[in-house]
């Protein structure tokens, strides 16, 4: 499993913590920035991560900004991306199971590091549903990109 990760300044500290968390689990990470708390524009990092995930089939992305919302909106502009902004472990699980999300977007300001780890862990442990209705819906999402 490989994760491309990125954040803006508001998500920097959380990104650093979650990268260590992933690496302790034996998951390969590639940090695409930012690399400090100087103010930056989150769409730049959402684009970098989303393009890598879209190109590298089977990989995942982790994006962190102040709320996770902006990163999710920006990442979802890239063809092939299904970025989710879950707010708890249940929605993280459902994002993978029902939507086959390939990027998880989290809040660097609203979540304490331990809570963010729980959400990320739920995402990691979930598998896409094999039910036809969920597969069909993901296919319909892909058709919207054309």
Q: Which residues are known to be catalytic?
A: 65, 98
Cα dist from 64 to 22, 81, 120, 124, 143, whole Å = 14, 16, 11, 16, 27
Of 84, 88, 77, nearest to 128 by C-alpha is 84
- Token pair for residue 78? 């890239």
CA atoms within 13 A on the CB side of 12: 12
Q: Which two tokens stand for residue 77?
A: 């502009």
């Amino acid at each position: 499993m490989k994760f491309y990760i990125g954040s803006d300044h508001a998500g920097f500290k959380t990104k650093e913590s979650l990268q260590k968390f992933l690496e302790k689990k034996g998951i390969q990470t590639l940090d695409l920035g930012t690399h400090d708390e100087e103010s930056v524009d989150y769409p730049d990092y959402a684009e970098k991560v989303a393009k890598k995930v879209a190109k590298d089939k089977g990989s995942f992305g982790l994006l962190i900004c102040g709320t996770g919302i902006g990163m999710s909106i920006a990442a979802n502009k890239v063809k092939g991306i299904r970025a989710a902004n879950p707010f708890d472990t249940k929605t993280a699980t459902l994002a993978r199971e029902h939507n086959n999300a390939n990027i998880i977007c989290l809040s660097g300001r609203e979540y304490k590091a331990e809570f963010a780890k729980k959400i990320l862990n739920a995402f990691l442990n979930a598998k896409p549903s094999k039910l036809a209705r969920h597969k069909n819906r993901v296919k319909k999402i892909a058709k919207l990109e054309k």
